[in-house]
Homo-oligomer: A and B are copies of this chain.
Amino acid sequence: AINGSRLWDSLMEMAKIGATPKGGVCRLALTDLDKQSRDLFVRWCEDAGCTITVDAIGNIFARRPGRNNALPPILMGSHLDSQPTGGKFDGVYGVLAGLEVVRTLNDLNYQTEAPIEVVAWTNEEGSRFAPAMVASGVFAGTFDLEYGLSRKDLDGKTMGEELARIGYAGDAPIRGRDLGAYFEAHIEQGPILEAEDKTIGVVTDCQGQRWYEITFTGQEAHAGPTPMSRRRDALLGAARVVEVVNRIGLEHAPLACATVGLMQIHPNSRNVIPGRVFFTVDFRHPDDAVLAEMDAKLRNAVTRVAQEVGLETEFEQIWYYAPVKFDAGCVDAVRGAVAELGYSNRDMVSGAGHDACYLARVTPTSMIFIPCVDGISHNEIEHAHPEWCEAGCNVLLRAVVAKADA
């Protein structure tokens, strides 16, 4: 069994990097704080005897040799970056649970047949640089390296520049590695496990996503002498789309999710009718056909609203991935571990996207969920109890060892 308090201490230590007053973490991808968390992770892995490699998109691999190093490695991990108002567990938990598996095997002097690797993927959150999971997507061949390196933040800085700046543009091969399997432990980020009093979610699927960027352009004009009838108010258009997005989510509830999370208003002055608004839409559903229906509704609504208000439109779907079915063998390995350990559990569909979704395209993959308090994530108050963290890590240990020794 793993050492729950060592895992917890490492989580709390890592959470100091980018700690926010409300108890959360702000550690945006490829900032100085992200570099600090990477440096700490690398140091811990080296202390645990691992060999570190970094690929060209900044993914970090910490390798613990097996008895037969010609065998493809079993990977486990997640990400270290956070949302602007993120929590202490989202991502970090999966990385440090992987490290705890290594530390436990060291304690037990246990050598697996195949090598195992702990991995920290770059920019999973997609908050500073869209889309999310971009570096695991590059690793899995879904995106070109060039695409990944050229992602821009709102200030125009690219992932490539920022990787070089913090010293994490590595030279490990990014494609064509032979892998044995990938396991990712993560907090659920939703309310189901806690509500049903279950300790472990056996994740069988991940819902599909579509992300959009929309720009409405009307005309800036004075809020005082410009009659209502002569206005082309870009914010009025954006507000109508926010309402429509919410309605689309409700029409396909309870499974659909539909969110406008980001909006920038120009010139953003109290007495100026907004001339331009940029905003994003995030759609999710486990059924690809429903996701396509939601897409069609959005396109219709944007066209209609633009006509009503007299706006020009730029509309782009910037990210799409179909619902993912995880590997039956990996899911069984998790189910077997949970059964041996006797944890209460249920099968689950992931509502969030995870690096595992892209890894599933190149190697057998599945995920292990633990609950989080009130289902709250992407929030500074995000919390997971130490017992939950310990339980998930025990499942990870057994699933990984089972695969590595198979």
- Footprint of B on A, CB under 8 Å? 83-85, 125-127, 130, 132, 188-191, 207, 209, 211, 219-230, 233, 235-236, 238-240, 242-243, 246, 249-250, 253-254, 256-275, 280, 282, 284, 350-353, 375-380
Contacts and interface: CB of A to CB of B under 8 A. Distances in A.
Contacts of A380: 220
Given A236-B246, A378-B271, A261 B221 contact: no
Contacts of A225: 188-191, 257, 350-352, 375, 377
Nearest to A284: B224
Contacts of A189: 222, 224-226
Contacts of A272: 83-85, 127, 261, 378-379
A228 B254 contact: yes
B273 A222 contact: no
B270 A262 contact: yes
The 3 lowest CB-CB distance pairs between A and B, nearest first, are: A225-B351, A190-B225, A239-B242
7 contacts: A191-B226, A223-B261, A227-B253, A236-B243, A236-B246, A261-B270, A264-B268
A153 B282 CA distance: 32
Nearest to A251: B228
A352 B220 CA distance: 15
Contacts of A259: 223, 233, 271, 273
A127 B271 contact: yes
A352 B261 contact: no
Contacts of A379: 219-222, 272, 275
Contacts of A190: 222, 224-227
Given A221-B378, A222-B352, A375-B225, A270 B84 contact: no
Given A222-B189, A236-B243, A378 B269 contact: yes
A79 to B, nearest CB: 13
Given A227-B253, A235-B260, A220 B126 contact: no
Given A262-B269, A270-B126, A246 B233 contact: yes
A261 B240 CA distance: 15
A262 B263 CA distance: 11
A193 to B, nearest CB: 11
